[in-house]
Amino acid sequence: MLCMAMVFSIMENAAAELRPVVMLVPYLISYCLIRVLFCLNYKWSNVALVAVITVLCIKELYEGYTQLFMFFGKKNGQDFCIGSFSNSGLYGCFLAVCSSMFVACCAKEKNRYIKIAFISLSVLSLLLLSVTMSRASVLSFAAAVLLLFFSIEQYRLFLHRNWIILSVLIMLFGTGAYIIKKPSADGRMLMNRIGLRIIKKNGLNSSGVGYYAGAYGAEQCAYFSEFVGDKDDDLGINNIPEGIRMVADSPYYAFNEYLKVGVEHGLVSVLLLIALVVIGIVTSYKSGSCWCYPLLTLSVFALFSYPFETKIFLYMFTAFLASAGNNENNKVLNVTFYCLIVFVASIHLNKERRRIDNIQICSCQYDSNNLFVSQPNIYVVKDLLTGSDAIVDQNAFFNYGQAYNMSGDYNRSDSILKIGATVSSDPMFWNVMGNNSLALGNYREAEKRYRHAFYMVPNRLYPLYLLAKLYHTEGDTVQFLKMADLVESFIPKVESVNTERLRNEIAGIKDCYLKDISIE
């Protein structure tokens, strides 16, 4: 029996180790199949791939224009023009990828009618692309078109003669795109900075698959804590640059696929991924393949968003790589080289990969009526323990931990929230953990956790409110009055009825303190 238990334990650990690789198996199989088909018959395989993407694009165009005509004038284009995707950014990426393929095929096509069809589809796609207002999509499409012009002699001469004018236009476009959504652009730059800090700190290690958000939250807390200096008493808010403080957030997605790979898989993996992309683009460009341009479009877009969270983009990326560089020479070498890089990149995970797999908390179910049963603050939580197949769901962990907090089981709440904090960048985990410490009478630990929550996203009022309540509960008049003044003067990223309610509550308590002091 002991031997059997050891065998099953080894098999379970091996399965957990291989799970990230197994998830990539469909894409590896697709890659190999497409490579074989292109090697057998490049012409008809090329036609078939173009036809498949064209059909998908026509379907998405139909959905996009249907949404446009239904909601035109009622909503912003970003709110409704999303095709079958979850948001307008990913929809814009799909349109940009298809448009770059159509333009490249049109430039290389001899048949007049096919040219007209490609031009028509390009125009229809670009019109919808403008409605989505996706700057990353426009930029990635422009990069592909610019490279296409360099590949055609007559356009290359035009670019050479007018490079000054074109450079000025590019600078103006870039400046305009930045000004239109400056807070968003600044937020993305902050996210990139934090991601690079994590990769630098990890060295050749990684944070683990599924741990990007948790690693991001911890590093952003460390980043803003560095501004404190000797201003620890008032949290050093004045030391934090206002522009950076106001754009900080708790993201779930990385908005940069390369940095996400670097954080979750390590430096070696991200270098392999970049090498794979560069080799694919260079090889397909040199061979005159039209797949160079949609591959470039998708690769550039991945710098600013998260296309690889959607399966269709992963399959498209796989197909573009598989069809890149299909010339008469070194076909077998190309197949072996690409597969080797993809395989090595997929298995290069450090020893801390997905520790969440070993946690015996799979999911939780709550009463449908907002978790309430019959009386306030009474919750029903059911453990569904199913081995090591844990669901990495930030909301589930938070709701689970908060439910135990409100039912009075503070220690168990803490254990759940600590797990959730490793996969989430949301400071609310630390706020509730601070509430647990406060309820148990651990004031200094509660203070530390509230401060941690504030530095994770230092443009939110709630942690300051909790600190003020902590000092009030503790009876520390001096610290409470300091924090009350800070709550009153603090400018959050978003003003709301709730922030005003928090200020009024602290102001009411402060007035009672001042009255008592004046009486004395």
21-46 pLDDT, tens per residue?
A: 556 677 777 777 887 888 788 888 88
Both 431 and 480 in a single domain? no
- Overall average pLDDT of the 441-460 stretch: 93
**What domain range is 276 assigned to?**
19-195+251-347
Kindly state whether residue 205 falls inside one of the protein's structural domains.
no
Whole-number Å distance between alpha carbons of 444 and 188: 34
Q: What CATH number has the domain bearing residue 389?
A: 1.25.40.10
Confidence (pLDDT) at 16: 44
Both 380 and 494 in a single domain? no
Output the average pLDDT for the chain. Answer: 78
Tens digit of each residue's pLDDT (9 = 90 or more) over 53-106: 999 999 999 999 998 888 765 655 566 788 889 888 999 999 999 999 999 998
Confidence (pLDDT) at 416: 86
Confidence (pLDDT) at 371: 38
Confidence (pLDDT) at 83: 87
Both 325 and 444 in a single domain? no
The pair of three-digit structure tokens given for residue 54, joined into one six-digit string = 């064209």
Kindly state whether residue 211 falls inside one of the protein's structural domains.
no
Both 331 and 402 in a single domain? no
- Overall average pLDDT of the 470-494 stretch: 89
Both 507 and 393 in a single domain? no
Confidence (pLDDT) at 256: 92
- Total structural domains in the chain? 3
> Could you say which of 424, 452, 480 is where a domain stops?
452
The pLDDT confidence band at residue 169, using thresholds 50, 70 and 90, is confident
Both 36 and 130 in a single domain? yes
> Could you say which of 347, 368, 393 is where a domain stops?
347
Both 336 and 360 in a single domain? no
Is 1's pLDDT higher than 80? no
Confidence (pLDDT) at 200: 92
The residue ranking higher by pLDDT, 56 or 350, is 56
DSSP 477-515: HHHHHHHHHHHHH---SS--HHHHHHHHHHHHHHHHHHH
**Do you know the residue count of the chain?**
520
Confidence (pLDDT) at 184: 79
The pLDDT confidence band at residue 17, using thresholds 50, 70 and 90, is very low
Is 459's pLDDT higher than 60? yes
Kindly state whether residue 212 falls inside one of the protein's structural domains.
no
Kindly state whether residue 242 falls inside one of the protein's structural domains.
no
Least confident interval from 264-268, 324-328, 438-442, 456-460: 324-328
The pLDDT confidence band at residue 233, using thresholds 50, 70 and 90, is low
Kindly state whether residue 395 falls inside one of the protein's structural domains.
yes
Kindly state whether residue 220 falls inside one of the protein's structural domains.
no
Confidence (pLDDT) at 332: 47
Is 6's pLDDT higher than 70? no
Confidence (pLDDT) at 53: 94
Both 29 and 142 in a single domain? yes
Confidence (pLDDT) at 478: 87
Kindly state whether residue 400 falls inside one of the protein's structural domains.
yes
Confidence (pLDDT) at 9: 40
The residue ranking higher by pLDDT, 184 or 90, is 90
Least confident interval from 20-34, 410-424, 457-471: 20-34
Confidence (pLDDT) at 152: 77
Q: Which stretch of DSSP H or E encloses residue 246? A: helix 242-247
Both 359 and 379 in a single domain? yes
Confidence (pLDDT) at 2: 36
The pLDDT confidence band at residue 372, using thresholds 50, 70 and 90, is very low
- Overall average pLDDT of the 260-270 stretch: 87
Both 410 and 438 in a single domain? yes
- Overall average pLDDT of the 247-261 stretch: 90
DSSP 353-400: TTGGGG-S---EE--TTTTB-SSTT-B--EE---TT-----HHHHHHH
- Overall average pLDDT of the 303-314 stretch: 91
Is 457's pLDDT higher than 90? yes
The residue ranking higher by pLDDT, 287 or 166, is 287
Helix 292-301 with 88-108: angle, nearest 10 deg: 160
Is 177's pLDDT higher than 80? no
Asked whether 502 and 484 are in contact (CB, 8 A), the reply is: no
Residue 167 identity (one-letter amino acid): S
Q: Which stretch of DSSP H or E encloses residue 444? A: helix 443-456
Residue 209: strand, helix, or coil: coil
Instruction: DSSP letter for 87, please.
Output: S
The pLDDT confidence band at residue 382, using thresholds 50, 70 and 90, is very low
Q: Smallest Cα–Cα separation from 290: which of 151, 169, 122?
A: 151
Least confident interval from 21-35, 280-294, 331-345: 331-345
The pLDDT confidence band at residue 227, using thresholds 50, 70 and 90, is confident
Least confident interval from 384-393, 489-498, 505-514: 384-393
Confidence (pLDDT) at 68: 87
Confidence (pLDDT) at 329: 47
Output the CA–CA distances (angstroms, integers) from residue 438 to 403, 411, 431, 508, in the order listed: 16, 12, 10, 21
Both 315 and 420 in a single domain? no
Both 486 and 414 in a single domain? no
Least confident interval from 12-16, 214-218, 398-402: 12-16
The pair of three-digit structure tokens given for residue 128, joined into one six-digit string = 């919808």
Tens digit of each residue's pLDDT (9 = 90 or more) over 109-150: 888 888 899 999 999 999 999 888 888 999 999 999 989 888
Asked whether 432 and 402 are in contact (CB, 8 A), the reply is: yes
> Could you say which of 402, 422, 452 is where a domain stops?
452
Mean pLDDT is highest, among 6-10, 67-71, 255-259, 370-374, for 255-259
Confidence (pLDDT) at 323: 83
Kindly state whether residue 233 falls inside one of the protein's structural domains.
no
Whole-number Å distance between alpha carbons of 384 and 368: 17
The residue ranking higher by pLDDT, 177 or 398, is 398
Residue 53: strand, helix, or coil: helix
Whole-number Å distance between alpha carbons of 397 and 144: 42
Least confident interval from 342-346, 444-448, 485-489: 342-346
Asked whether 499 and 461 are in contact (CB, 8 A), the reply is: yes
